Amino acid sequence: MAAEVEKQLLGQGAGASGIGTAVAEPMDGFAELAALFRTTMDAAQVGIFVLQERLFKYVNASFCRRIGFDAAELIGRMGPLQLVAPGHHPMLLELLQSGVQGFTGQQFELEVICKDGSAFPAMILSSTTQLDGQPALVGTVLDISAQKAAERRIRELADYDVLTGLPNRRLLRDRFAQLLAAAEREQSEIALVFLDLDHFKRVNDSLGHSLGDELLCQVALRLDAAVRRVDTLARLGGDEFILALPATHTSGAADVARRLLEAFIQPFEVGGHELTITPSLGISLYPRDGLDLETLLKNADTAMYKAKEQGRNAFQFYDSAMNTATLERLLMESNLRRAVSQQEFVLHYQPLVSLESGLIIGVEALIRWQHPDLGLIMPDRFIHVAEETGLINSIGDWVLCEACRQAQAWCDAGLPALTMAVNVAPVQFRQSGFVAVVAGALAASGLEAGQLELEVTERTVMHDADINLGTLSALHRMGVELSLDDFGTGYSSLAYLKRFPVGKLKIDRSFISDLETDADDRAIASTIVSMGRNLRLTVLAEGVETVEQLSLLRKMGCDMAQGYLFSRPLPAEQVTDLLRRQPFLQKEL
Ligand code: C2E
Ligand code: MG
Ligand code: MG
């Protein structure tokens, strides 16, 4: 078969003598040419092939060597489609088509797959020709692995710091452009941390540059271990490192900065020396302190110098208000710890009223912090700090126990059984022993599970829907009721709403406050009410303050309401009085 092709390629018709006979005959012009052709082909360093009707008609030695098939396996049996990754098939088919129409000199790159399954990048050059009077394709295959590797290495050298292997300023700029685009889209913040080692020059001067380099590499490793995978850690040169932290606000950046400082507590082992070195950090925040990398870098640098001025081994925000804010937060954090140990919390209760009967059929427990100097502090000011510091778990456990105890105390006092609604923070809900904590609170108080209702937000349950479904189901099996708080502000998926064993939706106050004037809010509220009805869920409106709001909600068919119109959250004794009097029963609100 190959001999036939040789003849064709050498311009001899079908009638000319075959290569087999050509060897036996004295060397005539054609045989000489054929031998020359074969030697040339076999000596060629590139793979050469001829295709006709999508099958190989000729392959040279180099081609066979590189892909691992021998000529007999390929010729007349296999085609190029079997040797390239499926991703390249469309391109190849197009080429085979155009080959029929006739053209010359086409060049393209693709991945060739060898007999053993390995693959290599190849440059293919092809032209059309005639074989046996029929169109055919002649091509060469050049293995370009080495060229690709070199290109990769050049890119690495251009993008990465040679000493530490960290991204350099160029790559930082590229990545930051992407972070900026995402932050703009999601309206999120980015923190930029400028980290500079304190007195690094002394290390270089006393121990020499190679140990200084070694120290920088170790610093890079420690920093890398202290940040998330989504963060970019780059080295600008010298002892300056930059961290770009997407979706990070003030307190998050302060946490990272503290973690980075902690990473330097352990001394470094360099060339048999134990070295202690500290960093100074400056932080700027997008968009507050700048809208582009250059400005943010400049401002983080300024903040870093402030940290140096203040005695090094510290971090500073560019915006000095942020420094006060973190200080306040730190004070708040230590105060909160004390509050937990000193039991400075109290619960107030707000009635949940049935719109059909006017009966108070439940109360929501709302925490307050009775601060010895500052007086009563509302949850919006401290719950997020409690969540970020993990203190919410012990606070939440206390709330659960106290609320269950109070509900049972009202039962024991002869008041009709009511629902006790307790807010559960996301962190608390996800802690592993949460179901056991709830069971414990019920057992300790003697309250029936059906009287306890846990309020979770959409964000809490959607966060890790599958894990949370397990917790929700376990609570549901215990008989505990579940409601979705602040409904409408998160990203509820209707599919999940159906799957979760939730019994109540609480329409967020933000939709209720402008109910009379805002047609959109009215539409949302009424949609939630009818959706709730279709899914057989109870719907409660939060923050009802006016008679007008109430009558609109009634018209929509809302089941329950809560708000200042009925009562503010009150201490237990005052609620006892309300529960006895049931003042909303008769009142035509
Ligand atoms: P929430 O669960 O949505 O609670 C309702 C909030 O709306 C309460 O604020 C309540 O006082 C307020 N409110 C009720 N009716 C009206 C009204 O007619 N008008 C206005 N303007 N506001 C009304 P509060 O007590 O400040 O609690 C704020 C948030 O703090 C709660 O929102 C809840 O998310 C959280 N929270 C409260 N107690 C706890 C707790 O024990 N644990 C946890 N994890 N979070 C809690
Ligand atoms: Mg609530
Ligand atoms: Mg709410």
Which pLDDT value is given to residue 439?
Answer: 96
CA distances from 480 to 424, 438, 477 (A): 13, 9, 7
Q: Distance (Å, rounded) from C-alpha 483 to C-alpha 479?
A: 13
Q: What are the mean pLDDT values of the chain's consecutive 10-residue runs (589 residues total)?
A: 66 42 55 88 92 92 95 94 88 72 71 94 89 89 92 84 92 94 91 95 87 95 92 94 93 90 92 89 95 95 89 86 71 84 95 96 97 88 85 94 97 96 91 91 96 90 74 93 88 70 93 94 94 93 97 96 97 97 76
Which pLDDT value is given to residue 20?
Answer: 34
This prediction's pTM: 0.56
Residue 564 beta carbon below 6 angstroms from any ligand 1 atom:
yes
Q: Distance (Å, rounded) from C-alpha 537 to C-alpha 558?
A: 11
HSE (side-chain half, CA atoms, 13 Å) at 458: 16
Q: How far is the CA of 184 from the centre of ligand 3 (A)?
A: 29
Determine which residue's CA is closest to atom 44 belonging to ligand 1: 425
Query: 459, 375, 446: which is closest to 409 by C-alpha?
Result: 446
Which pLDDT value is given to residue 89?
Answer: 87
Which pLDDT value is given to residue 568?
Answer: 97
Q: Which of 366, 393, 394 to mutate to test the pocket of ligand 1 (most atoms within 8 A of CB)?
A: 366
pLDDT in tens, 68-80: 999 999 999 999 9
Classify strands 273-275 and 268-270 as parallel, antiparallel or unpaired. antiparallel
Q: How far is the CA of 411 from the centre of ligand 2 (A)?
A: 22
Ligand 1 nearest-atom number relative to CA 569: 11
Q: How far is the CA of 247 from the centre of ligand 2 (A)?
A: 26
Query: 391, 415, 404, 395: which is closest to 349 by C-alpha?
Result: 404
Do residues 106 and 90 make contact, with C-beta atoms less than 8 angstroms apart? Answer: no
Q: How far is the CA of 543 from the centre of ligand 3 (A)?
A: 8
Q: How far is the CA of 331 from the centre of ligand 2 (A)?
A: 27
User: Which ligand is closest to the CA of 345, given by its number?
Assistant: 1
Query: 581, 548, 580, 582: which is closest to 565 by C-alpha?
Result: 548
CA distances from 423 to 187, 457, 533 (A): 28, 9, 23
Count the neighbouring beta carbons within 10 Å of the beta carbon of residue 396: 24
Q: Which of 340, 353, 401, 423 to mutate to test the pocket of ligand 1 (most atoms within 8 A of CB)?
A: 423
Q: Distance (Å, rounded) from C-alpha 562 to C-alpha 362?
A: 10
Domains of the chain by start residue, with CATH: 2-147 (3.30.450.20), 160-318 (3.30.70.270), 342-581 (3.20.20.450)
Q: How far is the CA of 366 from the centre of ligand 2 (A)?
A: 8
Residue 402 beta carbon below 6 angstroms from any ligand 1 atom:
no
Q: Distance (Å, rounded) from C-alpha 36 to C-alpha 42?
A: 10
User: Which ligand is closest to the CA of 366, given by its number?
Assistant: 1
- For 353-386, give the DSSP string: EETTT--EEEEEEEEEEEETTTEEE-HHHHHHHH
Q: Which two tokens stand for residue 321?
A: 């208000």
SS (H, E, C) 137-153: EEEEEEECHHHHHHHHH
Beta bridge partners of 232: 244
Ligand 1 nearest-atom number relative to CA 379: 30
Q: How far is the CA of 563 from the centre of ligand 2 (A)?
A: 12
223, exposed or middle or buried, with CB in 10 Å at 0-12, 13-18, 19+? Answer: buried
Q: Tell me which long-range contacts 258-265 makes (C-beta under 8 A, separation of at least 24).
A: 258/315, 259/226, 260/193, 260/195, 260/223, 260/226, 260/315, 261/313, 261/314, 261/315, 262/226, 263/222, 263/223, 263/225, 263/226, 264/222, 264/313
Cα four-point dihedral sign 151, 152, 154, 155: positive
